Amino acid sequence: MSLLDVSIVNVALPSIQRDIGASVGGIQWVVSGYALTFGLVLVAGGRLGDALGRRRMFLIALTGFVVTSALAGAAPNETLLVVARLLQGAAGGLLTPQNSGLIQELFRGPERGKAFGMFGATVGISTAVGPVLGGVILATFGEPDGWRWVFLVNIPIGVVALVLAARLLPRRPRRRGVASEIDVVGALLLGVAVLGVLLPLVESEQGGLARLWWMFGVAVVVGYLFVRWERRVVARGRAPLLDVRLFTGTPGFSAGAAIGAVYFCGFTGMWLVFAVFFQSGLGYTPLESGLAVTPFAIGSAVASAVAGRFVARWGRRITVTGLSLVVVGLLCVALVVQLVPSGYVGLGVALPLLVGGLGAGMVISPNTTLTLECVPTRMAGVAGGVLQTGQRVGTAIGTAVLASVFHAVVTASERFPVGLSVSMLAAAGMIGVALLLAVTELVRRGRRSRQGSPPVDVVVE
């Protein structure tokens, strides 16, 4: 639900604008506000899960997500809808790190790879099928209130999830003195730093980069202060929000986080380009546009489930292979749209998107497994939050860059296929950088193996 709500709302924006008379700026914040608050609280949410208990935080955050979904669906005007989306994004950001933290806590060895494989399949499906599901909901419930069900559909799903979570997630003994483990100053500093990066990016289509470029400088300064503060907290023997030794003392974590962030630049940024190309360029309906990219989702779901079973045996070779397939798939899409008549483009890109999807399924879950494999269980939540934050930043960067490239090329050439081709080349270039990082980590991993480094659950001291 939390990942679907990043993309599912896009197809409902025209209906929202017509029904409640929302402004262009308000509509932008319905989308960007969710992404912004989602990214802001990920690390803090992971740390709260580590300190207070992941089951408890999962139930609290899931309840908040269901309630805020109901508020969004019932919003009578633009202001309340934007507020509900901001709160919904925060609830989603608190919920997401508990997933990876629980997997780290409850599974070991090959079983952990299988669990992350299911998790990766869910990520791949939810990212790709959002537009399809949104189109189905709008077609089913119609105007003028069909858009409300884009949010209200979370209520029955969330209630079932709450019941299952309460019954199935294992309880842990309640710890005492956890309030002293909450690094409030660190959370505020990191929040300001992430805000400085995300806000100009999510506002890019409204001129955010031109107006808010100075916030990148603020993010660098506050990020430096955050690192200094966290080191000071550790030196005093207190629990930090984010122990920076996670990056320096945990094999493979920094490289895996970087691979994930760069990959998401190209992976998630291209869906907006596809939606505009099919709907504005070829006249597809939102549902038809979503169905056109469904082969990618199918390939991703299948490959994620399979790759999770072999990640313990093949290691980084899986992500290297997967990233290579994604690059090949996107390059083929760029070529096909130039060669195939416009009436057959949707069919023509099906096979390249399937290849790219198969590759994508070999990236997300294996990379998550390999990135977190040496993270101690006590830091699993915050580590998952860091990984997800990098992905959200990558998503914001990729969406801003690829959308700008697409619109610039279409304006200059007056041809939508050219715009799509150039955007796919840009996305392939971003994912190519992730491929280089993965190859480098594969070599380093081989060296660590020859030196006898411990493979899992390395405790950072």
User: What pLDDT, in 10s, does the model give residues 185-239?
Assistant: 877 888 888 888 877 877 766 666 777 788 889 889 988 898 888 788 877 877 7
Residue 257 CA to residue 244 CA, distance in Å, equals: 13
Q: Are 234 and 249 in contact (CB under 8 A)?
A: no
Residue 455: per-residue pLDDT: 47
**Is a pLDDT exceeding 60 seen at residue 456?**
no
What single letter denotes the amino acid at residue 191? G
Range with the largest mean pLDDT of 22-36, 423-437, 442-456: 423-437
Residue 176: per-residue pLDDT: 56
Cα torsion 425, 426, 428, 433 to 10°: value is: 140
pLDDT tens track for 4-53: 887 778 777 778 888 888 777 777 788 778 877 888 788 888 878 877 88
For range 274-291, the mean pLDDT: 82
**Is a pLDDT exceeding 60 seen at residue 177?**
no
Sign of the torsion angle spanned by Cα atoms 239, 240, 245, 251:
positive
pTM of the predicted model, to two decimals?
A: 0.79
Residue 162: per-residue pLDDT: 94
Residue 460: per-residue pLDDT: 41
Confidence bin at 269 (pLDDT 50/70/90): confident
Token pair belonging to 241: 């929000």
Residue 127 CA to residue 8 CA, distance in Å, equals: 9
Residue bearing the bigger pLDDT, 115 or 433: 433
Residue 291: per-residue pLDDT: 84
For 237, counting Cβ atoms within 10 Å of its Cβ (0-12 exposed, 13-18 middle, 19+ buried), the class is: exposed
pLDDT tens track for 104-162: 888 887 788 788 878 877 876 776 677 778 878 887 887 777 889 989 989 999 999 99
Confidence bin at 323 (pLDDT 50/70/90): very high
Residue 302: per-residue pLDDT: 85
For range 395-410, the mean pLDDT: 84
Residue 420: per-residue pLDDT: 92
Residue 204: per-residue pLDDT: 67
Q: Is the peptide bond prior to 341 cis by the omega test (within 30 degrees of 0)?
A: no
Q: Are 275 and 386 in contact (CB under 8 A)?
A: no
Question: Can you give the length of the chain in residues?
Answer: 461
CATH homologous superfamily for 4-170+181-448? MFS general substrate transporter like domains (1.20.1250.20)
457: left (phi over 0), alpha (psi -120 to 50) or beta: left
Sign of the torsion angle spanned by Cα atoms 6, 11, 15, 18:
positive
Helices (H), 293-415: 294-314, 316-339, 345-348, 350-361, 364-372, 380-413
Residue 439: per-residue pLDDT: 93
Contacts of 102 (CB under 8 A, 6+ apart): 54, 55, 58, 169
